[in-house]
Amino acid sequence: MSPQDGFSPGDGAPDSVPPSVRAQLLATEHWSLLASRSTTQGEVLTRISMFLTLTSASLVSLALVGQATRFSDIFLLLAGVVLFTDLMVGLLTQVRVLNVAAEDIMYVLAMNRLRAAYVELDPGIAKFIMASPHDDQSGSVQTYYFLGRRSSWSHVAGSSMVFIHTVNSALIAILAGLLASVLGAGTGMAAAAAAAAGLAFLAGSSIHGYRSYASFWRDYRPVSPTPSDPATPSNAR
């Protein structure tokens, strides 16, 4: 079998390849995906921890400097520079979190596709697999939440993406309030500006994340779609 022929279940691969060899090749790929997924998740969690450590240390330092300088103009300048730096690091972290979320969907779909190959090799194991053997949106939902649960708002709200969006929104709110105070706004106006800027960023980030997720599924064509999924295009079957 030539390298470009490849193997996919049901593609008429030569019978000379024993099922045990095919299963071993599929399992090797499965473990490779698991390791890559674990490494990616560990890396992004480390990035988030570094960002939170930097932000918390910066805020503590600003509190000490503010007491020492009696919150003078020098303190306002220093606070602006420090908070802006924290925000830049936070935005870079947010970009990485978004990229990792897209990569994680890829890993889940790739492993779902391998499960479809396992089931084709041995149909009897299908009833023992809780994660989905289908590499479409319905299959990804079943693998993420098991038993095909669709009410996943709690999982979304508790995700790393929403968490980093919230932290960056708070930083933007603080910066907006600080800028409004420097420009001479009163306490009420500064608080209103801070709230508006923070909420606008949070809403914009959430909309961008949702559109990226929806765009992925519009362009994606599964190899082993869920048979009863009406959203699956007919040309993908």
Instruction: Give pLDDT, residue 170.
Output: 95
Instruction: Look at 5 and 122; give whichever has higher pLDDT.
Output: 122
Mean pLDDT along residues 218-235: 70
Distance CA 150, CA 148 (A): 6
Q: Residues 133-149: pLDDT tens digits?
A: 999 988 888 888 875 55
Instruction: Give pLDDT, residue 4.
Output: 41
User: Nearest to residue 180, comparing CAs of 195, 169, 167, 170?
Assistant: 195
Give backbone dihedrals phi and psi of 232, rounded to 5 degrees, phi first. Answer: -80, 125
User: Which pLDDT band holds residue 233 (cuts at 50, 70, 90)?
Assistant: very low
Instruction: Give pLDDT, residue 56.
Output: 93
Element containing residue 218 per DSSP (H, E): helix 187-219
Q: Residues 16-37: pLDDT tens digits?
A: 778 888 889 999 999 999 999 9
Scanning the structure block, which residue is given the tokens 């149909």? 123
| Range scoring the smallest mean pLDDT among 85-94, 185-194, 207-216, 222-231 | 222-231
E-assigned strands of 113-158?
none
∠ CA 139-26-34 to the nearest 5 degrees? 65
3: pLDDT strictly greater than 50: no
Q: In 70-129, which residue ranges form alpha helices assigned H by DSSP?
A: 73-121
Distance CA 195, CA 129 (A): 47
Distance CA 166, CA 97 (A): 13
User: Nearest to residue 178, comparing CAs of 193, 198, 158, 156?
Assistant: 193
46: pLDDT strictly greater than 90: yes
Instruction: Give pLDDT, residue 203.
Output: 95
